Structure 1
Amino acid sequence: MKLKFLHNIENKIYFIPSLYALIATLVSILVIYLEYQYSSLLINVLPSFFFTSYDLSKTILSTIAGSLFAMITVSFSTIMVVLTMYSSQFSPRTMQDFLKNKVTLKVLGIFIAGFIYSILTLLFIDDRLLKSGESTIFSAMIGVIIAIVCLGYFVYFIHHAANSVQVNLLVESLKEDVIEIVDKLEKRNNSNDQIRNQPPDDLKASLDRDFYELHPKKSGYIQIIYDLKLTQLADQYDIIIRAEKMIGDYITENTVVFKFWQLDEQMDKFKDEKLVEIKNNIRDHLVISNERSKNDDIEFGLLKLTEVALRAISPGINDPNTAIFCINQLGWVLSRIAVANLENTYYYNDKDELCFILEDISFWDLLYKTFYQLSHYGKQDVSVAGSIIDALVIIAEGSPQDVKEQVWKFSHYILGGFDKNVLEQEDKKFLNHKIYRLAKETGHKKQKEKYFQVENFKIN
């Protein structure tokens, strides 16, 4: 499938540098061709300072090639240092955010392109281009322009690398990546009348019958499910397809990834050849890789934010303020997800018939998977417990009432797992104020069973 092939290519680290290298090769060939075929015309059209002698051109291009190779070496060393810091200080899962960042790949691509242009041009120019001892070679001037551009990108890359190791900017970037996915999905779902959050009334009856199972041909993480294409495919074959696994799930050859039902119960069962055709076409709309992708995986984005917070509260790093900042960002992201209503998505055809079902992770499960590790490893840290309650308040603000109820119920789990033996009177007051804010926001202001017993303590 074309979309699947393009995704696999674009997701490779070498794609952008290779693209720049190809462009540089074409530019070099074009410049050499113009010099050999139209040098007389170019001399009359371009200013004289564009042209250099043969010996000077060789010197310029060889100097540029050596300098750019040194830049590539320094850039590669910088990348390795940043990746080491990401792995040790933040999370191994965040390494791809720097390595596959478009700025990083474009800088490497520009350097490689400049080096290839200089080497190829150096290879093909010779003294046959000289006419009457005049300066008639302009490819060196193009090389100088490329070198200046590369120098500008080198300065920008150093700035980018310095910003990338600042934890607050990294956390902000991780948050924006998840928000971008949520915004994209919400915008697409709201603009398409055939995508709805409510199932048809007869859904249970439609699925309570014989079905076909589909297994993948290789193991790995699900990176993309082409839901709209699968809807068209289901409409074409008069079937209902349901995804049993979500983006980000790890699957093996024994995993049931999809189930599908014939729309018309009276139809004869699919013959073997037809069944194989349908299964192969469905598999073509599923992208599986040996690593998770940040492009459409909301849960993966939350996981990376959580891991940065966990590293921050670990005894080796002991940076609770960074953990608090991460938890606040998690609260903001989850509050955005709560109002986006992305849990269950049902896809219909033009005849208003259900074709495809994508039942995503519930909001409660998302809450649990986001905070359960933080709750466990921060159970003796009052600041972590307080920041999680603050995050729950952020989620509750502006959310529907059913989300508020889930948040209030989830706060019981967070505080129930906290080690209350480490609390002093002032710690209890600190947490009680936060619990009160949450109770007020969720409509449980009168419920006192969660407050810690503190002498002479009163909340107005």
Structure 2
Amino acid sequence: MTRHLPRAIQHILFNLRGGFLVRPLIISLGLGLLGGWLSWLEEKHPAISAWLPAVLFPSREDPQVAQVMLSAIATSIMTVVSIVFAILLMSLTLASMQFSPRIIVSFSRDKVTQWTLGIFLGTFAYCIAALPAARLKPYAFSPVLTVFGSMLLAVACVVGLLFFIHHISRAISVNYIVDRIAEETEQTIADQMPEPHAEHLWESGAAPNAAQPDTPILNRHAGYIRYMDTRKLVQLAKAHQIKLCVARRVGQFAPAAAPLFYASRGERLTPKLCQALQAAIDIGPSRTLQQDVEFGVLQIVDIALKAISPAVNDPTTAITCIDQLSRILCLYSQRSTPQSHYYDPPGVVRVAIPVIETEALLESAFEHIRHYARGDMAVSLRLLAALNDIAAVAPGAAFRLCLLAMGQRTVDACREHLDEQAMRRLRARLDTLQAATRC
């Protein structure tokens, strides 16, 4: 849905979805304003309270009853919030130690957790905002309908608490974690690579003596490239009639004072233009999944490597990770690589941006697993099966040859660690892969 929005707006929306700040804050502020507005409206129009049946709230003339109920709900809600989220943070700490510290990013983007926190804090804000309306002086007033609303919110909190406990008990299981990372990575692929696979032959179209990008624009802040506004870069390059070559792709680390761009016509690079170019690239201390497909792959690889380590020795988890990695690579291989060259109408390359190729993503996904699983027959067999699955859907002959080379390296690495019976099974899988690459 957000694919057709400007990339700057997509970047803002992506940042707003993450973390425990924006969504819970909006929900709590909304419910707090609702509590204050409803109590004010009920005081201005007392007839509203008559809509509520007396059996639901018999003590309509005693403000102390309303005060006790509102304060009791507020204090109990905050107690539950403190206990539940302390347990949640402890669970996240244990999960990050067992699987990978990078999975905390996906947990912080969990909508169920954000909504649960927002409803709990919003109920507290609702009660606090409505509490001043229940008073004895200068005249007795009991906000009946507002108190009934707080009771409904308390019931919603109980239901939300039960659902949250059920959800978090599933969320910390490794299968759910890996599946969620793979799903988020697939969404990133769909956003960045909406077109099906096609062979692109990019031609620069530049004149032989045209100025080439050779003037460096240095990076100001060290960090990982998390987001790149290509539309803004193209607009700036066209407006100032310069060529730009981005030195690093999304996901790579950019040291301070290292070249971030190379530009032609250095005499046109004003400080204001350099600042605008640098503002089109978001650099931070950690990688994100907004445009970085490789980051999702590396999260799953981290879990797989820890699972096959001698200290853990959990090949089943590693096999699950390989299955999800094959799912990602099957989708990635069927999509066209993101555009790396942006042209002016005469055919001049205005902006060149490095992108990760399918072969490089294959190396990131399986090379480390292949190396550390050379003594595990089950993991190596599943790795060869995953390569067969990818080869069955990969449209490019060159990429299928890379799959075959990966399979050959897998078998060669296992030769010194597995017995002859296991090697026969591995070679049978490799023969199947060879047959698939000839298709």
Residues 310-357 of structure 1: CA distance to partner in whole angstroms, max 9, x if unpaired?
121122221112211211221221121112122652233566653322
2:85 to 73, 76, 101: 76
Kindly, what percent of the aligned residue pairs are identical? 23
- Is 1:270 the counterpart of 2:267 in the alignment? yes
CA distance in 1, matches of 2:437, 2:152: 62
Letter of the structure 2 residue corresponding to residue 200 of structure 1:
E
Q: Is the 1:328–1:391 Cα contact (8 Å) retained in structure 2?
A: yes
CA distance in 2, matches of 1:327, 1:284: 37
Q: Which position in structure 2 is the counterpart of 1:175? A: 182
Q: Which position in structure 2 is the counterpart of 1:421? A: 416
Cα pair distance change 1:206/1:104, threshold 3 Å: farther
Residues 372-415 of structure 1: CA distance to partner in whole angstroms, max 9, x if unpaired?
22122212112222222112111211212121112112323333
- Is 1:234 the counterpart of 2:237 in the alignment? yes
CA RMSD of aligned residues (A): 2.8
1:347-366 residue pairs with structure 2 within 5 A? 347-349=342-344, 353-366=348-361
CA distance in 2, matches of 1:250, 1:110: 38
Aligned to 2:381, the other structure's residue is in SS state helix
Q: Which position in structure 1 is the counterpart of 2:254? A: 251
Q: Which position in structure 2 is the counterpart of 1:386? A: 381
Q: Is the 1:86–1:165 Cα contact (8 Å) retained in structure 2?
A: yes
Residues 299-319 of structure 1: CA distance to partner in whole angstroms, max 9, x if unpaired?
110001111111211222211
- Measured after TM superposition, the shift of residue 64 of structure 1 is 0.8
- Is 1:32 the counterpart of 2:44 in the alignment? no
Q: Is the 2:29–2:125 Cα contact (8 Å) retained in structure 1?
A: no
Q: Is the 1:243–1:258 Cα contact (8 Å) retained in structure 2?
A: yes
Q: Is the 1:197–1:346 Cα contact (8 Å) retained in structure 2?
A: no
- Is 1:296 the counterpart of 2:291 in the alignment? yes
CA distance in 2, matches of 1:7, 1:206: 42
- Measured after TM superposition, the shift of residue 20 of structure 1 is 2.0
CA distance in 1, matches of 2:54, 2:234: 62
- Measured after TM superposition, the shift of residue 77 of structure 1 is 2.1
- Measured after TM superposition, the shift of residue 8 of structure 1 is 5.2
Count of residues paired in the alignment: 427
- Measured after TM superposition, the shift of residue 47 of structure 1 is 4.8
Q: Is the 2:218–2:261 Cα contact (8 Å) retained in structure 1?
A: yes
1:124-139 residue pairs with structure 2 within 5 A? 124-128=133-137, 137-139=144-146
CA distance in 2, matches of 1:275, 1:415: 56
2:170 to 163, 168, 173: 163
Aligned to 2:225, the other structure's residue is in SS state strand
Q: Is the 1:85–1:165 Cα contact (8 Å) retained in structure 2?
A: no
Letter of the structure 2 residue corresponding to residue 337 of structure 1:
Y
Residues 250-281 of structure 1: CA distance to partner in whole angstroms, max 9, x if unpaired?
1121222222235xxxxxx535xx52121111
Q: Which position in structure 2 is the counterpart of 1:225? A: 228
Cα pair distance change 1:6/1:305, threshold 3 Å: closer
Q: Is the 2:212–2:243 Cα contact (8 Å) retained in structure 1?
A: no
CA distance in 2, matches of 1:405, 1:241: 33
Letter of the structure 2 residue corresponding to residue 425 of structure 1:
E
Letter of the structure 1 residue corresponding to residue 188 of structure 2:
I
Q: Which position in structure 2 is the counterpart of 1:95? A: 104
Q: Which position in structure 1 is the counterpart of 2:49? A: 43
Q: Is the 2:39–2:146 Cα contact (8 Å) retained in structure 1?
A: yes
Q: Which position in structure 1 is the counterpart of 2:4? A: none
- Measured after TM superposition, the shift of residue 182 of structure 1 is 0.8
Q: Unaligned 5+ residue runs, structure 1?
A: 263-268, 445-460
Cα pair distance change 1:384/1:206, threshold 3 Å: farther
Letter of the structure 1 residue corresponding to residue 310 of structure 2:
P
Cα pair distance change 1:231/1:210, threshold 3 Å: closer
Q: Structure 2 length as normaliser, TM-score?
A: 0.88
Aligned to 1:174, the other structure's residue is in SS state helix
CA distance in 2, matches of 1:206, 1:409: 41
- Is 1:409 the counterpart of 2:409 in the alignment? no
